[in-house]
């Protein structure tokens, strides 16, 4: 087990730390829990073609990058969002945030405001819970009254991360066909008063 060398922080993706991210992708990790290795391979290709453009694409607060391709191949309008890399002196994972300007509600094709994924070799250290806790102030700074997060019913670690950050279960829902259908769990975290 690698000993943490720095406090866990969220870092904006930059070229200087991109090699650590690439290493995680090459080791089979992906921030996309639906497309998995297919998404990782696509990101590796994009990095190989233009690393700076890839890093720049992680911050799209004005939704200028065009349409989003859903897992079933359909396309939808992009909403603003960004990704941060979880860092402890090395790459630990990724957390992404997306929102609809002027409202806390999301379009039906967006399953939640926040998604996260920690590399397997750094799990069970509380990094996902800490990353979510570190990200929430950015959501509140945009005026959101709450954030929604979704998970599969059998993903107990993710449910624990949400509960550790004050979330509660809103209810079960059926995922859109674009995401393969199936049952999901919707959680919510309210902004502090």
Q: Reduce the DSSP state of residue 15 to 3 states and report it.
A: helix
Q: Is residue 165 part of a domain?
A: yes
Mean pLDDT of 134-154: 96
Q: Is residue 61 part of a domain?
A: yes
Q: What is the pLDDT of residues 53-95, one digit of tens each?
A: 999 999 999 999 888 877 777 888 999 999 999 999 999 999 9
Under 8 Å between Cβ of 84 and 12? yes
Instruction: Return the structure tokens found at 38.
Output: 């297919």
Residue 181 has a pLDDT of 82
Q: What is the pLDDT of residues 108-134, one digit of tens each?
A: 889 999 999 999 999 999 999 999 999
Q: Is residue 1 part of a domain?
A: no
Q: Is residue 89 part of a domain?
A: yes
Q: Is residue 123 part of a domain?
A: yes
Range of the domain at 102: 9-190
Residue 13 has a pLDDT of 97
Cα–Cα dist 130/189, whole Å: 15
pLDDT of 4 higher than 70: no
E-only strand ranges, the chain: 9-11, 59-60, 68-69, 75-76, 81-87, 91-98, 114-118, 146-151, 168-174, 183-190
Distances, alpha carbon 146 to alpha carbons 68, 125, 193, in Å: 24, 26, 11
How many helices (H) and strands (E) would you count in the chain? 5, 10
17: left (phi over 0), alpha (psi -120 to 50) or beta: alpha
Number of residues that make up the chain = 193
Q: What is the CATH number of the domain that holds 86?
A: 3.40.630.30
> 10 CB contacts (<8 Å, ≥6 apart)?
84, 85, 86, 87, 95, 131, 134, 135
Cα–Cα dist 162/180, whole Å: 23
pLDDT category of residue 3 using cuts at 50, 70 and 90: low
Q: Is residue 62 part of a domain?
A: yes
Q: Is residue 2 part of a domain?
A: no
**To 5 degrees, how large is the angle CA 120–CA 82–CA 2?**
25
Q: What is the pLDDT of residues 169-180, one digit of tens each?
A: 999 999 887 777
Residue 8 has a pLDDT of 95
Number of domains in the chain: 1
pLDDT of 1 higher than 70: no
Lowest mean pLDDT among 65-74, 161-170, 178-187: 65-74
Q: Is residue 96 part of a domain?
A: yes
Smallest CA-to-CA distance from 72 within 30, 109, 117, 112 is with: 109
> Whole-model pTM?
0.91
């Amino acid at each position: 087990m690698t000993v943490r060398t720095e406090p866990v922080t969220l870092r904006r993706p930059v070229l200087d730390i991109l090699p650590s991210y690439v290493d995680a992708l090459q080791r089979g990790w992906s921030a996309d829990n639906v497309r998995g290795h297919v998404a990782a391979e696509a990101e590796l290709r994009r990095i190989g073609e233009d690393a700076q453009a890839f890093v720049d694409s992680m911050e799209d607060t004005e939704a200028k990058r065009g349409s989003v391709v859903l897992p079933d191949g359909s396309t939808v309008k992009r909403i603003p969002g960004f990704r941060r890399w979880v860092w402890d002196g090395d790459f630990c994972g990724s957390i992404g945030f997306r929102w609809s300007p002027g409202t806390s509600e999301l379009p039906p094709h967006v399953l939640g405001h926040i998604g996260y994924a920690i590399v397997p070799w750094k799990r069970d250290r509380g990094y996902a819970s800490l990353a979510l806790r570190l990200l929430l102030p950015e959501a509140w700074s945009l005026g959101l009254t709450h954030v929604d997060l979704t998970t599969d019913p059998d993903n107990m670690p993710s449910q624990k991360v949400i509960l550790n950050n004050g979330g509660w279960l809103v209810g079960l829902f059926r995922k859109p066909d674009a995401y393969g259908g199936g049952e999901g769990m919707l959680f919510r975290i309210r902004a502090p008063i």
